[in-house]
Amino acid sequence: MTTTIQSTQERLQQFFKYLNRFMLLMWRLGFGSYMNRPELSGRIMVLTHNGRKTGLRRQTPVNFAIVDGEVYCVAGFGRGSDWYRNLLAEPRVDVWLPKGWWAGIAEDISDSPQRIQIIRQVMIASGFAARLAGIDPLRMSDEELADASASYPLVHIRRTEARTGLGGPGDLAWVWPWTTVILLILLLFRPRSRRSH
């Protein structure tokens, strides 16, 4: 039984690894706000954080919810998640939200008395991701949700200042005009096939 659960979790992690690469690309191409659909992909932000060992900047798409104007997310694969461990080592992050790019400070608030209420909002906002993990935030009682999410750290991102300039969401948006021009040129000057008589 334990082997089956581990195998399922490993498959989920692999799936989300590829999904996260796709989501990050969509954000970089300027489609971040279009990818935020709670009923489908869920509400997704991108966290830019420092690798705890390498010091290199890393970017991770995560589901989030805004509760009373504050930004929250959950480490769905537990305390071993690399991005979560990076936040513990260096809490200063950049956050790409659908309506802005911010610097912020990340804090684990798993001991908060409002933990279950906030996690429920994050799970609702996560779209299909919560259901893939076997969580139905709309139907579970507080006790059931507490049991199902016991290993999920809850993170609060306190926004400190707005960001602008290079290196933010849409940094690859320049690709689209050039791609369109190249495709039009290829279509206009494509060789015409000769019909044999």
Does some domain include residue 66? Answer: yes
pLDDT, tens only, 67-115: 999 999 999 889 999 999 999 999 999 999 988 899 999 999 999 999 9
Tell me, what CATH number does 25's domain have? Answer: 2.30.110.10
pTM over 0.85: no
Is 135 inside any structural domain? yes
The answer to whether position 122 is within a domain reads yes
Looking at the domain assignment, is residue 97 inside a domain? yes
Domain count, the chain: 1
User: Environment class of residue 46 by beta-carbon count within 10 Å: exposed (0-12), middle (13-18) or buried (19+)?
Assistant: buried
Burial code (b: 16+ CB inside 10 Å, e: under 16) for 122-159 equals: bbbbbbebbeebebebeebeeeebeebbeebbbbbbee
179 within some domain: no
**Residue 179: helix, strand or coil by DSSP?**
helix
Q: Is residue 181 part of a domain?
A: no
Q: How far apart are CA 88 and CA 71, in angstroms?
A: 17
186 in a structural domain: no
Domain span including residue 35: 2-171
User: What pLDDT does 102 receive?
Assistant: 94
Centre a 10 Å sphere on the Cβ of residue 100 and count the other Cβ atoms it contains: 13
Model pLDDT for residues 39-73, shown as the tens digit of each residue: 767 899 999 999 999 999 999 999 999 999 999 99
161 within some domain: yes
